[in-house]
Amino acid sequence: MKKYEDIIGLSRPVSKKHPPMSRENRAAQFAPFAALTGFEGAIKETARVTGEKIELDETQKTFLDEKLKVLLREKTPALFTYFQKDEQKEGGAYITVSGIVKKTDAYTHKIVLEDGTGICVEDILEIRKLL
């Protein structure tokens, strides 16, 4: 008699107490275990590069201020490139948005675009009028 010949042809036993498990749940049992939950995300965050803000001289600031006055008066669409501080770490990135200046807020030193976007005047690097 060969090894296991007496049980080789039998059907698989089925539990009377527990319903059969879905394929997804069975597969999940063999998924890799992450002992350090969040560690991978922390490594990615540390590796993420942020840029530094470019400081403008007084001539450049005056030039941007004049452009803002014209845009506010004419209600002309423009592109605004400004520095947005990173919420997680030091530094940030330059972002470009388009819109029409709705108002300026002297108290907060921000311009508000018609879509509600607020941009701090000190963070603006460049303003380009759209034709």
* pLDDT single digits (tens) 33-90: 666 777 888 888 777 778 889 999 999 999 999 999 999 899 999 999 999 998 888 8
Q: Which residue has the higher pLDDT, 41 or 24?
A: 24
pLDDT for 56: 92
* SS3 of residue 94 by DSSP: strand
pLDDT for 8: 86
pTM: predicted TM-score of the whole model, two decimal places? 0.64
Which residues make beta-bridge pairs with 103?
Answer: 112
For residue 40, give every residue at least 6 positions away whose Cβ sits within 8 Å of its Cβ, in sequence order, or none: 34
Task: Tell whether 116 is covered by a domain.
Answer: yes
For residue 85, give every residue at least 6 positions away whose Cβ sits within 8 Å of its Cβ, in sequence order, or none: 91, 92
Task: Tell whether 20 is covered by a domain.
Answer: no
Task: Encode pLDDT of 89-104 as tens digits.
Answer: 888 999 999 999 999 8
Task: Tell whether 68 is covered by a domain.
Answer: yes
Task: Encode pLDDT of 104-117 as tens digits.
Answer: 888 989 999 999 99
Task: Tell whether 9 is covered by a domain.
Answer: no
Could you tell me the residue range of the domain that residue 72 belongs to?
Answer: 58-129
Task: Tell whether 16 is covered by a domain.
Answer: no
For residue 64, give every residue at least 6 positions away whose Cβ sits within 8 Å of its Cβ, in sequence order, or none: 56, 121, 124, 126, 127
CATH number for the domain spanning 96: value is: 2.30.30
Quote the number of domains for the chain: 1
